[in-house]
């Protein structure tokens, strides 16, 4: 599998928020997109997923332009969990997860679809609430439901916008472990936006650090999460301590 972005530039009205982003992923792995508020992280995910159309540049999956893919093809290739997920319809947790199978099924749900959805519900530890309505769940449970729905899609690329933002520390680790295990077992590429630099350091194979809509640094956590980069990109003085050969960030003060 090869996902490539070549000179992706995106504007909202006359304001350009992504400036010629180029990157290429040729192997499975966890890629963390980090950077301060407004740097363009969510916009970048939405371009990859074809929700937004870049003004220039192109995005290809295995040499096919995502721009040329129809909605079902996008959904079969890219699972996407946005930052916010207002669900306006009444559906149980199980039915919501089952909706992840839609790009693969006709109007009829197969036994295989049900089994895959049930597996995703179990994986995200949602069995206890499987028959509850989405509106009856806590924010963290809703977040896990949306991740389960994306997993049920069985897509090759999993795009997650702040997947741990509403989770307590135990569930943060559980969800990141699940993503890690899926990436390793199924050979997926997972690109996730993440604010927690320590989680990013622990789980990502590669980090892309954005600043003002441009790539400021890219590489493994040790090369990206340096005191110098954190100061330049976040305007924060931080101590960086190596623990198990991974950078551990201790923020000190704004500069
Ligand atoms: N629909 C929109 N219309 C106009 N401007 C937008 C829109 N969505 C985002 N922006 C602007 O684009 C820039 C990048 O936003 P984006 O949401 O991609 O940043 P981000 O890095 O994900 O931020 P955060 O960490 O706060 O979620 C910001 O300046 C934001 O105000």
Q: Which atom of ligand 1 is nearest to the CA of 44?
A: 18
Q: Which residue has the higher pLDDT, 135 or 59?
A: 59
What's residue 19's pLDDT? 98
Q: What is the mean pLDDT of residues 118-142?
A: 91
Quick one: which of 93, 81, 153 has its CA closest to 121? Answer: 93
224 neighbors 207 (Cβ within 8 angstroms): yes
Write out pLDDT tens, residues 160-185. Answer: 999 998 889 998 998 899 899 889 98
Predicted ipTM of the assembly: 0.98
pLDDT band at 119 (very low <50, low <70, confident <90, very high): very high
Domains of the chain as residue ranges with CATH: 3-254 (3.40.50.300)
What's residue 84's pLDDT? 78
Greatest extent of the chain over all pairs of C-alpha atoms, in Å: 58
Give the start-end residues of each E strand in the chain.
3-12, 15-25, 29-34, 56-61, 64-65, 78-81, 157-161, 189-193, 206-211, 214-219, 236-243, 246-254
Q: Which atom of ligand 1 is nearest to the CA of 13?
A: 4
Q: What is the mean pLDDT of residues 111-140?
A: 91
Distance CA 181, CA 8 (A): 30
Nearest CA to ligand 1 atom 5: 12
40 lines ligand 1 (CB under 6 A): yes
What's residue 250's pLDDT? 97
232 neighbors 58 (Cβ within 8 angstroms): no
pLDDT greater than 70 at residue 106: no
Distance CA 165, CA 175 (A): 11
Tell how strand 3-12 and strand 15-25 pair up: antiparallel
């Amino acid at each position: 599998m090869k996902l490539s972005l070549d000179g992706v530039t995106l504007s909202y009205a006359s304001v350009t928020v992504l400036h010629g982003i180029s990157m290429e992923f040729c192997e499975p792995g966890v890629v963390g997109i980090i950077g301060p508020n407004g740097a363009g992280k969510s916009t970048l995910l939405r371009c990859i997923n074809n929700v937004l159309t870049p003004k220039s540049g192109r995005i290809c999956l295995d040499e096919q332009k995502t721009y040329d893919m129809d909605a079902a093809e996008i959904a079969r290739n890219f699972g996407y969990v946005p930052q916010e997920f207002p669900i306006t319809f009444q559906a149980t947790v199980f039915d919501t997860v089952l909706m992840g199978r839609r790009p693969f099924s006709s109007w009829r749900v197969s036994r295989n679809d049900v089994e895959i959805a049930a597996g995703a519900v179990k994986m995200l530890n949602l069995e206890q609430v499987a028959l509850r309505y989405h509106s009856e769940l806590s924010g963290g449970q809703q977040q896990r439901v949306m991740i389960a729905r994306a997993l049920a899609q069985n897509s090759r690329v999993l795009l997650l916008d702040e997947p741990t933002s509403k989770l307590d520390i135990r569930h943060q680790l559980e969800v990141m472990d699940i993503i890690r295990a899926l990436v390793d077992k199924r050979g997926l590429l997972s690109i996730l936006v993440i604010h927690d630099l320590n989680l990013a350091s622990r789980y990502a194979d590669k980090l892309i650090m954005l600043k003002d809509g441009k790539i400021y640094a890219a590489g493994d956590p040790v090369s990206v999460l340096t005191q110098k980069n954190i100061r330049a990109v976040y305007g924060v003085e931080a101590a960086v301590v190596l623990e198990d050969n991974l950078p551990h960030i201790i923020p000190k003060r704004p500069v």
